[in-house]
Amino acid sequence: MSVERTLSIVKPDAVGRNLIGEILRRFETAGLKIVAGKLLRLTPERAQAFYAVHKERPFFAGLCAYMSSGPIFVSVLEGENAIMKNREIMGATDPAKAAPGTIRKDLGKDVEQNAVHGSDGPETAASEIAFFFRPDEIF
Ligand code: UDP
Ligand code: MG
């Protein structure tokens, strides 16, 4: 294990339900440090760029419309094994299949509006962090 950084997004459904603080609290309680953060709204084009890996998937259009439908809170989480630790705290993609106590189980609405995004590996973490943050915005 080593100290890693990963990108987290509180998605529009969760921002709209006043859940930013509840979600960040879970990361901090688990020992992850928030080393960058901001509220912003993606344009549809920026959402398509962020999720380009999924562009052939049937859910892509709906996902990009949803992710650009309102503000999101993006942050960089840092800590031991941060990438997998964040994925564990988030839970499975579909809230109905997520383990008890995970963010998606407790707070997600459905398989699309599932409250949070988290990078899935070291390469995507690096590219997703750079998508949203300049080096001087990360502490
Ligand atoms: N998604 C969806 N329908 C699906 C699968 C995924 O709308 O059947 C959305 C959901 O918001 C998910 C995102 O697309 O978080 C990215 O999918 P991915 O498979 O990368 O899941 P994640 O890494 O977010 O768990
Ligand atoms: Mg993913």
Active site residue 54: no
CA of residue 12 to ligand 1 center, whole Å: 14
Average pLDDT over residues 117-136: 98
| % of the chain exceeding 90 in pLDDT | 99
Q: Using CA atoms, how far apart are residues 72 and 16, in angstroms rounded to an integer?
A: 9
Contact between 3 and 80 (Cβ < 8 Å) = yes
For the chain, the average pLDDT equals 98
Backbone angles phi, psi at 138, to 5 degrees: -110, 130
Give the model confidence (pLDDT) of 58-88 as tens digits: 999 999 999 999 999 999 999 999 999 999 9
pLDDT at 102: 98
Angle of helix 20-29 versus helix 82-90 axis, rounded to 10? 130
pLDDT in tens, 15-73: 999 999 999 999 999 999 999 999 999 999 999 999 999 999 999 999 999 999 999 99
Asked if residue 1 has pLDDT above 80, the reply is no
User: What's this model's pTM, rounded to 2 decimal places?
Assistant: 0.98
Q: State which residues have CB under 5 angstroms from ligand 2, the bound ion.
A: 120
Q: Name the closest-CA residue to atom 25, ligand 1.
A: 93
Residues with CB under 6 A from ligand 1: 54, 59, 63, 93, 111-112, 114, 117, 120
Is 86 in contact with 32 (CB distance < 8 Å)?
yes
